[in-house]
Amino acid sequence: MTQPVLNVLAVVGSLNRNSSTRSVINHVVGQLKAEGCAVDVLDLLGEPLPLFNPDSAHEAEGFSALKSRVERAAVYILGTPDYHGSISSALKNFLDHFWEEFAGKLFATIVASHEKGLTVTDQLRTVARQCYAWSLPYGVAFADQIDVQEGRVVSDSLDERLKMLVHDVRVYGQLLAGQRRADLAGTAPGFLAKHRK
Ligand SMILES: Cc1cc2nc3c(=O)[nH]c(=O)nc-3n(C[C@H](O)[C@H](O)[C@H](O)COP(=O)(O)O)c2cc1C
């Protein structure tokens, strides 16, 4: 049986005009499209989100269109710079706008860091867990100037890690999306039971 196309939302969590995070996300997006995925890119520089306010976020202009894009995706590729060992405020602000939409979906993380980005990756894994999302069992981190120069991935080791991520996003993204659909349509008492409409 042919599987539905895998919908991926890639988020650029750096507002830097010359962001290396953006370069790496674009590199991955090209590969995922070549593998047949439907990829939507949310670049928070070009599509800024107001600071999350629980009282008014749902009324903000463009919010319902963004919600539909988030709901459509089965996989989120989250790119962020390492700021003080943390995720960027732009990415955190995006994540704060949603939670139920993430349940049962897959997070794949990419961190621009000179220090391997481990604390940043862990923070994204924590967000995934809090929202009942899955995350790949690793994150990809890279150092700007070393792994990425003039908007291009220049190191073989980063290129290899990104190929691995693209493969795993496709394979595990499809598996999890298929199981999520089945669980939402079924009657079993799994964690997705409470997300049935
Ligand atoms: C406010 C601020 C805090 C930063 N903190 C760290 C840090 O704790 N560790 C680190 O490795 N890099 C840190 N950096 C460097 C950025 O992570 C690095 O320059 C990254 O490549 C920026 O990503 P971008 O090119 O996508 O904007 C910091 C940069 C800024 C502006």
Atom of ligand 1 nearest to the CA of 143: 21
pLDDT tens figures, 55-93: 999 999 999 999 999 999 999 999 999 999 999 999 999
**20 touches ligand 1 (CB under 6 Å):** yes
- The pLDDT of residue 2 is 76
Answer whether residue 1 shows pLDDT above 80. Answer: no
- The pLDDT of residue 70 is 98
**26 touches ligand 1 (CB under 6 Å):** no
**82 touches ligand 1 (CB under 6 Å):** yes
Rounded distance between C-alpha atoms, residue 127 and residue 6, angstroms: 22
Among protein residues, the one whose CA lies closest to atom 8 of ligand 1: 84
Task: Give me the chain's average pLDDT, please.
Answer: 97
pLDDT tens figures, 120-167: 999 999 999 999 999 999 999 999 999 999 999 999 999 999 999 999
**101 touches ligand 1 (CB under 6 Å):** no
Q: Which residues contact 140 (CB under 8 A, 6 or more apart)?
A: 24, 108, 109, 110, 111, 158, 161, 162, 165
- The pLDDT of residue 3 is 81
Query: How many residues belong to the chain?
Result: 197
**Tokens matching residue 55:** 């009282």
Answer whether residue 94 shows pLDDT above 80. Answer: yes
Which residues lie across from 141 on neighbouring strands?
111
pTM of structure = 0.97
Helix (H) or strand (E) holding 78: strand 75-81
**81 touches ligand 1 (CB under 6 Å):** yes
- The pLDDT of residue 75 is 98
